A and B are shown apart, each in its own frame.
Chain A
Amino acid sequence: MKGRWIKITEAENIPLREGRPVKLGEVEIAIFNLNGRFLTIENACPHKGGPLCDGIVTGSAVVCPLHGRHFDLETGMPVRASEPACLTVFPTRVENGIVMVNIEAGHRAMDSAAA
């Protein structure tokens, strides 16, 4: 995989089924803990910029706390097909208890579908 893996934080800092925001340069990401599987998306909801890190997790999706838009954490795609915008997802892994994110390998499902 292209890009560099950046060490973010100890895995236990992200509680089960919750998200936490992290600022990396200009990008704010939200990292979620899905029963030990960690997934990362850009933090701002494409609708009105709501902090997705604060949303309730349902299955593998998150619900924006402001207006209830649902996004799949694995693909960044909106759960309801009527929503046009999707989110960038970032490859995430845990190594020796540290959550690592590859910020440069972030991608959007819709862009790749269009390409």
Chain B
Amino acid sequence: MKKLVVVGNGMAGVACVEHILKHKPDFDITIFGDETHVNYNRIMLSLVLAGEKSADEIVLNDIDWYRSHSIRARLGVKVARIDRAARLVIDEEGEAAPYDRLILATGSSAFIPPIPGVDKKNVHVFRTLDDTRHLTAKARKGLKVAVIGGGLLGLEAARGLQVRGCDVTVVHLGSSLMDKQLDATGGEYLKRRLEDLGIRVMLPKQTAALTGNGKVEGLRFASGDQIDAELVVIATGIRPNAELARDAGLHVNRGIVVNDFLETSDPAIFAVGECTEHRGQTFGLVAPLFDQARVLAAKITEQPGPAFAAPAPAAKLKIMGVDIYSAGVIDESEPETEVVRYEDPGLGAYKKLLLRNNRLIGMILVGDIEDEHIYMDWMRSAADLSGMRRQLLFPPRGVDTGLSIAEMPDSETICGCNGVRKGDIIQAIHRHGVTTLHQLKERTRASTSCGTCAGTCEKLLRAVAPDFQEETATTLCSCVPFSYERLREIVRGQKLKSVEEVLAVYGNRKGCEVCKPALSYMLDMLWCGEHDEDRSARFINDRVHANIQKDGTFSVVPRMRGGVTTPDELRRIADVAEKYNVPMVKVTGSQRLDLLGVKKSDLPAVWRDLGMASGQAYTKGVRMVKTCVGSEFCRFGTQDSTSAGIELERRLENLFTPHKFKMGVVGCPRNCAEATVKDLGLIGQDGSWQVVVGGAAGKSVRKADLLITVETTEQALEAGELFFQYYRENGNYLERSYDFVERLGIEKIRKETVYAPDEVKRGLLERLARSKALSHDAWLEGAQPFTPTQFVQIQPMQTIEEPQLV
């Protein structure tokens, strides 16, 4: 068996080995890696830094992969030299590994410019998982960070550290950001966007020295000024790791020189990846390296294969909230190049398309990259766009103007990053029953790197998979582009206590009517009421504790626990209705009384005269418990439903929930108070209670699922509380309990509430108790308003009829 040694355990080297195994798995393979980790997806490091992904999630080949292919993985081992005459690779320990074929996949390292002070403590680069770990370990709220270098990597590092709460400044030598991928205008749009997100950008700025005694304390610039910095990240470019090859006497310029088949100047030695130099070009983006890996695998296994030709570069910035895409030729000064341009500073959007002979040869997209797939289709297929000239900037969506899915040959590469072809995807769908993009990613790795091909993958799935399921986006909203789950982690982890703080660091600093109330809820829930309340982030109903009506007046529904009232309460309600000329008094569907048409300025007086608590009929929170008469009066009643219902309402009232939360308690299975179509229902039977959840009788009708059957009323109430708090913590804002139960499944909910280990249950109940202790009847604000003009109509100091000159 021939011996293959690979020096380098990164993406290019391992991708090449994967292809070799596909062709001809009878090599005896040894892989040396100087990092101690298995092969991971280096281009996802920015997401690990930002806390978007864990280190485990970016692993590409786990240790079982090496084992199952009988690959000797020498991890954490540096190779000292190559003995070409004896065909040996000798590691730092002096151990020799013989080879018949040697692949150098040594990658690249961060280029550290010769600036005085770069050797100080807390000066880092951002290239490896270990670098990422060092940075995350040091990142903390308010830490002053300077990132030297405003390229792709520098900006990803900057945003990653900033979402961890650091105070970040990007220092860039050039006059505009990402100058390899963007023109000056694009760079300016990017700069503005980053500044909106709270990242400071200084350019053009030459760093003269890193200052500080031992530890870095700041940067001094050539212009004489300086800034403070407790942590510095250097991201000023990369350099091929070619020393090993150079020492071995191979032909090396900037990188290891390879021909179109990745052969070096020694016929037994090949090179692949960022360490190579091909026709004078070195590489820093992943897609061409995968092409190289394929070409080399064919070469080394002596299969017929294509020659390597560097594809047009394409780069996407992977920063939450910043959309940048650049591909192909971006230099408009090239001959016969036409430029079509669009910009809107209000939207922060900039598009520049470069054409030659009516064909798209390059693009820059900033702020609006939705049409990227269409443009890439056009570019790859060199489509003739003469008939599209009027629609270039806003191409019609959904129309396949380039290669349609059906016309695409099976050999066409869909995912350039991971080398997944159309045929591979179709096979995954047919052989493995893949129906979602998520499954496709797991099975084929398509769209797991830069994500650019996600649209094409979806199109393929839609066309080929019989049961294609579109994945519903769970991001809160475009202002804060994170999933609910992730946001809850962020808020908890970063100890964010106000809506403004969340929007400033993780959002667009504006927020909207969708995300502000959602964040308000999330903060209240997560901090059990100990958050910084921001009334401006609440819907008007939750600022004045009443339900706004079509004419701007409000409706007032006092709490009437369990639907039980007294003659005295009824008398007061009647008096209030008369005194304030309430246009309508209505019995609600929830066994309560609604006073409709009350002016905002009358609300405090109305509440005072009612002498009752808020029924919360205006909010995403606990509404009421509807009860039947129960065993106290009803001749069929088996349980005291009114008492149980009143107690349930007392325990949960004044709390907020992801959506409104209605309950019902009935004393027998006749179900007179419709407990089976409530968010939470207790159904009395002889000697027991059924606790049901997720019922609905609104826009949709759904019979509630049985959570548990218990013997005592106290047990029933506790089961209800467990579900209630679980829904509060895991429900997405505006998700009714019936959608929540369907999304999670009742089995999972049972396991995590009533059947959960005692400490989990105790946790839920304790957090509920903490929230409850800090909650209060909102109508108390009638007497003690939150702001002086919460209900009061402002009277102008001057009138329009008799203005005084000022």
Contacts and interface: CB of A to CB of B under 8 A. Distances in A.
Contacts of A16: 536
Contact of B540 (A13, A14, A55, A100): A55
B510 A9 contact: no
Contact of A20 (B509, B513, B552, B789): B789
Do most interface residues of chain B lie in helix, strand or loop, or is the interface mixed?
loop
A21 interface: yes
B540 A95 contact: no
B511 interface: yes
Contact of B797 (A7, A18, A21): A7
A17 B536 contact: yes
Given A4-B805, A48-B550, A66-B550, A15 B797 contact: no
A17 B540 CA distance: 12
Contacts of B281: none
B797 A65 contact: no
A5 B800 contact: no
Interface string A93-105: 0010010100100
Contact of A65 (B534, B539, B789, B805): B539
Interface in A1-30: 4-9, 12-18, 20-25, 27
A8 B797 contact: yes
A62 to B, nearest CB: 9
B794 interface: yes
A67 to B, nearest CB: 10
A21 B800 contact: no
A56 B794 contact: no
A7 B796 contact: yes
A51 interface: yes
Contacts of B548: 51, 54, 65-66
A1 to B, nearest CB: 13
Given A5-B806, A16-B536, A21 B793 contact: yes
Contacts of B512: 56, 58, 63
A15 B535 contact: yes
A64 B800 CA distance: 26
A48 to B, nearest CB: 7
Given A15-B535, A50-B552, A54-B548, A9 B796 contact: yes
B572 to A, nearest CB: 28
Contacts of B552: 49-51, 54
A56 B789 contact: no
A57 interface: yes
Interface residues of B, number: 35
B536 A95 contact: no
Given A4-B803, A9-B797, A95-B806, A68 B513 contact: yes
A59 interface: yes
Contact of B510 (A48, A49, A50, A59): A59
Contacts of A20: 789, 794
Contacts, number: 97
Contacts of B559: none
Contacts of A58: 479, 510-513, 516
A25 B537 CA distance: 31
B280 interface: no
Contacts of B538: 56
A5 B797 CA distance: 12
The residue in B537, B551, B798 that gathers the most chain A C-beta atoms within 10 A of its C-beta is B798
Interface in B493-527: 509-513, 516-517
A56 B510 contact: no
A6 B510 contact: no
B742 to A, nearest CB: 27
Nearest to B541: A65
B387 interface: no
Interface string B544-573: 000010111000000000000000000000
B787 interface: yes
A49 B548 CA distance: 13
A95 B552 CA distance: 31
B345 interface: no
Given A25-B800, A56-B513, A13 B794 contact: yes
B799 interface: yes
B537 A56 contact: yes
Contacts of A50: 552
A112 to B, nearest CB: 19
Contact of A15 (B536, B551, B795, B803): B536
B757 interface: no
B401 to A, nearest CB: 25
Nearest to B538: A56
A109 B540 CA distance: 28
B599 to A, nearest CB: 11
B759 interface: no
B789 A14 contact: yes
B540 A6 contact: no
Contacts of A5: 806
Contacts of B517: 56
B801 interface: yes
Interface string B473-494: 0000001000000000000000
B788 interface: yes
A23 B794 CA distance: 8
Interface string B214-253: 0000000000000000000000000000000000000000
A18 B806 contact: no
A70 to B, nearest CB: 8
B474 to A, nearest CB: 21
B794 A100 contact: no
Nearest to A9: B794
A14 B536 CA distance: 11
A20 B793 CA distance: 8
A56 B516 contact: yes
A103 B550 CA distance: 27
Interface in B649-666: none
* Those 7 A-B pairs whose CB atoms lie nearest each other, nearest first: A17-B536, A59-B510, A54-B540, A25-B800, A7-B797, A51-B552, A63-B513
Interface of A: 4-9, 12-18, 20-25, 27, 48-51, 54-59, 63, 65-66, 68, 95, 98, 100, 103
Given A56-B513, A58-B510, 19 more contacts: A5-B806, A6-B800, A6-B803, A7-B798, A7-B806, A8-B796, A8-B797, A8-B798, A12-B788, A13-B789, A18-B535, A21-B793, A25-B799, A27-B800, A51-B548, A54-B540, A55-B513, A65-B540, A66-B548
20 contacts: A5-B806, A6-B796, A6-B799, A7-B806, A8-B794, A8-B797, A12-B788, A13-B794, A15-B536, A17-B534, A18-B543, A22-B795, A22-B796, A23-B793, A25-B801, A51-B548, A55-B513, A58-B511, A63-B512, A66-B550
